[in-house]
Amino acid sequence: NAGVTQTPKFRILKIGQSMTLQCAQDMNHNYMYWYRQDPGMGLKLIYYSVGAGITDKGEVPNGYNVSRSTTEDFPLRLELAAPSQTSVYFCASSRVVDEQYFGPGTRLTVT
């Protein structure tokens, strides 16, 4: 099992550009999550999904969109990137109420 995979590992965007962060898991987990971690801070939940076709906002959803067309994939879309979105992004998955398994992260810089 690869667990939770994320691509790309690093990305530099110009202000106003858009991109999609990819996340996939092969553990057949129902729940998937996107977090961002700013320097010296904890992880903040952006969006989450309890199953294919179902998504909901977390604590900091503004500027992001998600979709969940399959159990395995949970891409995060950034439209009109802003410097405030410079962060490390982590995707995670879990069965139900259980510990979450995290991907290695995507480091995004918006300049």
Partner 1 sequence: DQQVKQNSPSLSVQEGRISILNCDYTNSMFDYFLWYKKYPAEGPTFLISISSIKDKNEDGRFTVFLNKSAKHLSLHIVPSQPGDSAVYFCAASAPAAGNKLTFGGGTRVLVKP
Where along the sequence are the contacts to partner 1 (CB under 8 A)?
A: 4, 31, 33, 35, 40-45, 48, 50, 58, 90, 92, 94, 96-105
Least distance CB 96 / partner 1 (angstroms):
6
Least distance CB 65 / partner 1 (angstroms):
18
Contact 49, 68 (CB under 8 A): yes
Distance of alpha carbon 24 from alpha carbon 103, whole angstroms: 9
Least distance CB 45 / partner 1 (angstroms):
6
Cβ-proximal residues to 92 (8 Å cutoff; 6+ apart), any chain: 4, 32, 33, 34, 35, 100, 101, 102, 103
Least distance CB 77 / partner 1 (angstroms):
20
Cβ-proximal residues to 109 (8 Å cutoff; 6+ apart), any chain: 11, 12, 13, 86
Which is nearer to partner 1, 16 or 53 (by Cβ)? Answer: 53
Which is nearer to partner 1, 40 or 111 (by Cβ)? Answer: 40
Q: How many CB atoms lie within 10 A of CB 30?
A: 14
* 3-class DSSP assignment, residue 49: strand
